[in-house]
Amino acid sequence: MEFLKLSTDEGVAIITIVRPPANAMSQVLVKEIDEALNTIEVDSSTRVVVIHGEGRFFSAGADIKEFLSVPNIEQHAKEAQAIFERIESFEKPVIASIHGAALGGGLELAMSCHLRYVSKTAKLGLPELSLGLIPGFGGTQRLPRHVGAAKAAEMMFTSNPILGEDAVKWGLANAAFDEEELLEATIQIAKKIALKSPIALKATIDMLAYSKTDRFYTGINEEAETFGRVFSSEDAKEGITAFVEKRQAVFKGK
Protein backbone atom coordinates (compact mmCIF):
# COMPACT_ATOMS: atom_id res chain seq x y z
CA MET A 1 0.00 0.00 0.00
CA GLU A 2 1.24 3.46 -0.91
CA PHE A 3 -0.20 5.58 1.90
CA LEU A 4 -0.76 3.12 4.75
CA LYS A 5 1.40 0.96 7.00
CA LEU A 6 -0.11 -2.08 8.70
CA SER A 7 1.41 -3.65 11.81
CA THR A 8 0.20 -5.82 14.70
CA ASP A 9 0.79 -5.81 18.44
CA GLU A 10 -0.73 -8.49 20.71
CA GLY A 11 -4.00 -8.86 18.84
CA VAL A 12 -4.19 -5.21 17.79
CA ALA A 13 -3.87 -4.24 14.13
CA ILE A 14 -2.41 -0.74 13.75
CA ILE A 15 -3.20 1.15 10.54
CA THR A 16 -0.87 4.13 10.13
CA ILE A 17 -1.76 6.85 7.62
CA VAL A 18 1.40 8.03 5.86
CA ARG A 19 0.64 10.76 3.35
CA PRO A 20 2.63 13.86 4.33
CA PRO A 21 2.29 16.66 4.99
CA ALA A 22 -1.40 16.52 6.00
CA ASN A 23 -2.42 12.85 5.55
CA ALA A 24 -5.22 14.11 3.30
CA MET A 25 -8.00 11.67 2.36
CA SER A 26 -7.30 10.99 -1.31
CA GLN A 27 -9.23 8.45 -3.38
CA VAL A 28 -6.31 6.02 -3.25
CA LEU A 29 -5.87 6.39 0.52
CA VAL A 30 -9.55 5.71 1.21
CA LYS A 31 -9.46 2.60 -0.99
CA GLU A 32 -6.30 1.43 0.79
CA ILE A 33 -8.17 1.60 4.11
CA ASP A 34 -10.70 -0.79 2.56
CA GLU A 35 -7.86 -3.08 1.45
CA ALA A 36 -6.35 -3.03 4.95
CA LEU A 37 -9.73 -4.04 6.40
CA ASN A 38 -9.82 -6.97 3.94
CA THR A 39 -6.51 -8.20 5.36
CA ILE A 40 -7.54 -7.67 8.98
CA GLU A 41 -10.97 -9.25 8.54
CA VAL A 42 -9.56 -12.70 7.71
CA ASP A 43 -6.84 -12.62 10.37
CA SER A 44 -8.31 -14.44 13.36
CA SER A 45 -5.40 -13.37 15.58
CA THR A 46 -6.38 -9.72 15.20
CA ARG A 47 -9.15 -8.66 17.58
CA VAL A 48 -9.08 -4.81 17.51
CA VAL A 49 -8.02 -2.13 15.01
CA VAL A 50 -6.33 1.21 15.75
CA ILE A 51 -6.10 3.93 13.08
CA HIS A 52 -3.68 6.83 13.54
CA GLY A 53 -1.65 9.25 11.45
CA GLU A 54 2.10 9.55 11.12
CA GLY A 55 3.65 13.01 11.38
CA ARG A 56 1.82 16.16 12.45
CA PHE A 57 -1.80 15.09 11.88
CA PHE A 58 -4.30 12.28 12.09
CA SER A 59 -5.74 13.65 8.85
CA ALA A 60 -6.27 17.31 8.07
CA GLY A 61 -9.07 16.68 5.57
CA ALA A 62 -9.97 15.44 2.13
CA ASP A 63 -7.64 16.15 -0.79
CA ILE A 64 -9.32 19.33 -2.05
CA LYS A 65 -7.01 19.77 -5.06
CA GLU A 66 -7.81 16.22 -6.15
CA PHE A 67 -11.53 17.09 -6.19
CA LEU A 68 -10.87 19.21 -9.29
CA SER A 69 -9.85 16.12 -11.28
CA VAL A 70 -12.47 13.67 -9.99
CA PRO A 71 -14.77 12.80 -12.94
CA ASN A 72 -17.84 12.07 -10.78
CA ILE A 73 -17.68 13.76 -7.38
CA GLU A 74 -21.01 12.33 -6.19
CA GLN A 75 -19.84 8.79 -6.91
CA HIS A 76 -16.56 9.53 -5.11
CA ALA A 77 -18.54 10.62 -2.05
CA LYS A 78 -20.70 7.48 -2.16
CA GLU A 79 -17.64 5.24 -2.40
CA ALA A 80 -16.01 6.92 0.62
CA GLN A 81 -19.31 6.73 2.54
CA ALA A 82 -19.53 2.99 1.84
CA ILE A 83 -16.02 2.36 3.18
CA PHE A 84 -16.65 4.48 6.27
CA GLU A 85 -19.93 2.62 6.82
CA ARG A 86 -17.96 -0.62 6.60
CA ILE A 87 -15.70 0.64 9.40
CA GLU A 88 -18.69 1.43 11.63
CA SER A 89 -20.15 -2.04 11.06
CA PHE A 90 -16.80 -3.86 11.03
CA GLU A 91 -16.90 -7.05 13.12
CA LYS A 92 -13.82 -6.01 15.10
CA PRO A 93 -13.74 -2.79 17.17
CA VAL A 94 -12.05 0.10 15.34
CA ILE A 95 -10.45 2.90 17.35
CA ALA A 96 -9.20 6.27 16.08
CA SER A 97 -6.16 7.78 17.82
CA ILE A 98 -6.29 11.47 16.90
CA HIS A 99 -3.47 13.97 17.27
CA GLY A 100 -2.78 17.25 15.51
CA ALA A 101 -6.00 17.57 13.55
CA ALA A 102 -8.93 15.54 12.27
CA LEU A 103 -10.69 17.89 9.87
CA GLY A 104 -13.18 17.37 7.06
CA GLY A 105 -12.72 13.90 5.63
CA GLY A 106 -10.29 13.11 8.44
CA LEU A 107 -12.98 13.69 11.07
CA GLU A 108 -15.50 11.80 8.96
CA LEU A 109 -13.13 8.82 9.01
CA ALA A 110 -12.68 9.16 12.77
CA MET A 111 -16.44 9.41 13.38
CA SER A 112 -16.96 6.11 11.58
CA CYS A 113 -14.74 4.38 14.15
CA HIS A 114 -16.34 2.85 17.25
CA LEU A 115 -14.12 4.79 19.67
CA ARG A 116 -12.08 8.00 19.44
CA TYR A 117 -9.17 8.96 21.69
CA VAL A 118 -7.60 12.37 21.19
CA SER A 119 -4.69 14.51 22.23
CA LYS A 120 -5.77 17.42 24.41
CA THR A 121 -4.68 19.94 21.76
CA ALA A 122 -6.03 18.11 18.71
CA LYS A 123 -8.41 20.07 16.48
CA LEU A 124 -11.58 18.36 15.29
CA GLY A 125 -13.94 20.00 12.82
CA LEU A 126 -15.82 20.03 9.53
CA PRO A 127 -14.68 23.22 7.72
CA GLU A 128 -16.20 22.40 4.30
CA LEU A 129 -18.57 25.40 4.28
CA SER A 130 -15.55 27.72 4.19
CA LEU A 131 -14.90 26.23 0.74
CA GLY A 132 -18.47 26.61 -0.46
CA LEU A 133 -18.99 22.85 0.01
CA ILE A 134 -20.71 20.57 2.52
CA PRO A 135 -19.32 17.47 4.22
CA GLY A 136 -19.74 14.56 1.82
CA PHE A 137 -18.32 11.48 3.54
CA GLY A 138 -21.07 11.10 6.16
CA GLY A 139 -20.25 14.10 8.35
CA THR A 140 -23.66 15.78 8.23
CA GLN A 141 -25.26 12.60 9.60
CA ARG A 142 -22.66 11.39 12.11
CA LEU A 143 -21.67 14.66 13.78
CA PRO A 144 -25.18 15.43 15.16
CA ARG A 145 -25.34 11.89 16.62
CA HIS A 146 -22.29 12.67 18.74
CA VAL A 147 -22.61 16.35 19.69
CA GLY A 148 -26.29 17.15 19.10
CA ALA A 149 -27.91 19.12 16.30
CA ALA A 150 -27.17 22.62 17.62
CA LYS A 151 -23.46 22.04 18.23
CA ALA A 152 -23.11 20.22 14.91
CA ALA A 153 -24.75 23.16 13.15
CA GLU A 154 -22.40 25.60 14.89
CA MET A 155 -19.31 23.59 13.96
CA MET A 156 -20.35 23.34 10.32
CA PHE A 157 -21.75 26.87 9.92
CA THR A 158 -18.70 28.57 11.45
CA SER A 159 -16.09 26.02 10.26
CA ASN A 160 -14.49 26.40 13.70
CA PRO A 161 -12.90 23.22 15.09
CA ILE A 162 -13.03 22.19 18.73
CA LEU A 163 -10.06 21.08 20.81
CA GLY A 164 -9.58 17.52 22.01
CA GLU A 165 -10.60 18.21 25.59
CA ASP A 166 -13.80 19.91 24.40
CA ALA A 167 -14.47 17.01 22.04
CA VAL A 168 -14.61 14.75 25.10
CA LYS A 169 -17.03 17.11 26.84
CA TRP A 170 -19.31 17.16 23.79
CA GLY A 171 -19.25 13.38 23.33
CA LEU A 172 -17.24 13.42 20.11
CA ALA A 173 -14.25 11.69 21.78
CA ASN A 174 -13.95 9.18 24.60
CA ALA A 175 -10.90 10.56 26.41
CA ALA A 176 -8.05 13.03 25.93
CA PHE A 177 -4.36 12.49 26.64
CA ASP A 178 -1.14 14.46 26.33
CA GLU A 179 0.03 14.04 22.74
CA GLU A 180 3.18 12.10 23.64
CA GLU A 181 1.05 9.59 25.59
CA LEU A 182 -1.88 9.28 23.18
CA LEU A 183 -0.91 6.43 20.87
CA GLU A 184 0.44 4.19 23.62
CA ALA A 185 -2.64 4.87 25.77
CA THR A 186 -4.89 4.02 22.81
CA ILE A 187 -3.04 0.78 22.11
CA GLN A 188 -3.25 -0.25 25.76
CA ILE A 189 -7.03 0.26 25.70
CA ALA A 190 -7.18 -1.71 22.45
CA LYS A 191 -5.21 -4.57 24.03
CA LYS A 192 -7.65 -4.67 26.94
CA ILE A 193 -10.56 -4.91 24.51
CA ALA A 194 -8.69 -7.60 22.54
CA LEU A 195 -8.97 -9.92 25.55
CA LYS A 196 -12.75 -10.03 25.13
CA SER A 197 -14.54 -12.76 23.19
CA PRO A 198 -14.58 -12.00 19.44
CA ILE A 199 -18.07 -13.46 19.30
CA ALA A 200 -19.33 -11.12 22.03
CA LEU A 201 -17.56 -8.12 20.48
CA LYS A 202 -19.12 -8.75 17.06
CA ALA A 203 -22.55 -9.26 18.62
CA THR A 204 -22.23 -5.98 20.51
CA ILE A 205 -21.22 -4.12 17.34
CA ASP A 206 -24.24 -5.64 15.58
CA MET A 207 -26.53 -4.48 18.39
CA LEU A 208 -25.09 -0.96 18.38
CA ALA A 209 -26.04 -0.70 14.69
CA TYR A 210 -29.72 -0.80 15.67
CA SER A 211 -29.33 2.70 17.14
CA LYS A 212 -29.08 3.96 13.55
CA THR A 213 -32.51 4.47 12.04
CA ASP A 214 -33.50 4.19 8.38
CA ARG A 215 -33.41 8.00 8.31
CA PHE A 216 -29.66 7.85 8.84
CA TYR A 217 -29.17 5.90 5.61
CA THR A 218 -31.63 8.14 3.76
CA GLY A 219 -29.61 11.12 4.98
CA ILE A 220 -26.30 9.56 3.94
CA ASN A 221 -27.56 9.02 0.39
CA GLU A 222 -29.01 12.54 0.21
CA GLU A 223 -25.74 13.96 1.53
CA ALA A 224 -23.78 12.46 -1.38
CA GLU A 225 -26.29 13.73 -3.93
CA THR A 226 -26.36 17.20 -2.38
CA PHE A 227 -22.57 17.24 -2.17
CA GLY A 228 -22.49 16.69 -5.93
CA ARG A 229 -24.98 19.48 -6.59
CA VAL A 230 -23.25 21.97 -4.31
CA PHE A 231 -19.86 21.05 -5.81
CA SER A 232 -21.09 22.18 -9.25
CA SER A 233 -22.03 25.67 -8.01
CA GLU A 234 -20.06 28.83 -8.75
CA ASP A 235 -19.58 29.32 -5.01
CA ALA A 236 -17.85 25.94 -4.74
CA LYS A 237 -15.52 26.79 -7.62
CA GLU A 238 -14.72 30.10 -5.89
CA GLY A 239 -14.18 28.39 -2.54
CA ILE A 240 -11.79 25.78 -3.91
CA THR A 241 -9.91 28.36 -5.99
CA ALA A 242 -9.57 30.60 -2.93
CA PHE A 243 -8.30 27.64 -0.91
CA VAL A 244 -5.65 26.83 -3.52
CA GLU A 245 -4.67 30.50 -3.80
CA LYS A 246 -4.69 30.88 0.01
CA ARG A 247 -7.11 33.82 0.07
CA GLN A 248 -10.54 34.62 1.50
CA ALA A 249 -13.36 33.31 -0.66
CA VAL A 250 -16.04 35.72 -1.86
CA PHE A 251 -19.34 33.88 -2.21
CA LYS A 252 -22.23 35.17 -4.34
CA GLY A 253 -24.91 32.57 -3.73
CA LYS A 254 -24.70 31.18 -7.26
Query: Catalytic residue positions?
Result: 108, 128
SS (H, E, C) the chain: CCCEEEEEECCEEEEEECCCCCCCECHHHHHHHHHHHHHHHCCCCCCEEEEEECCCCCECCECHHHHCCCCCHHHHHHHHHHHHHHHHCCCCCEEEEECCEEECHHHHHHHHCCEEEEECCCEEECCHHHHCCCCCCCHHHHHHHHHCHHHHHHHHHHCCCEEHHHHHHHCCCCEEECHHHHHHHHHHHHHHHHCCCHHHHHHHHHHHHHHCCHHHHHHHHHHHHHHHHHHCCHHHHHHHHHHHHCCCCCCCCC
Q: What's the gap between Cα 96 and its chain centre?
A: 9
> What is the Cα–Cα distance from 134 to 140, expressed in whole angstroms?
8
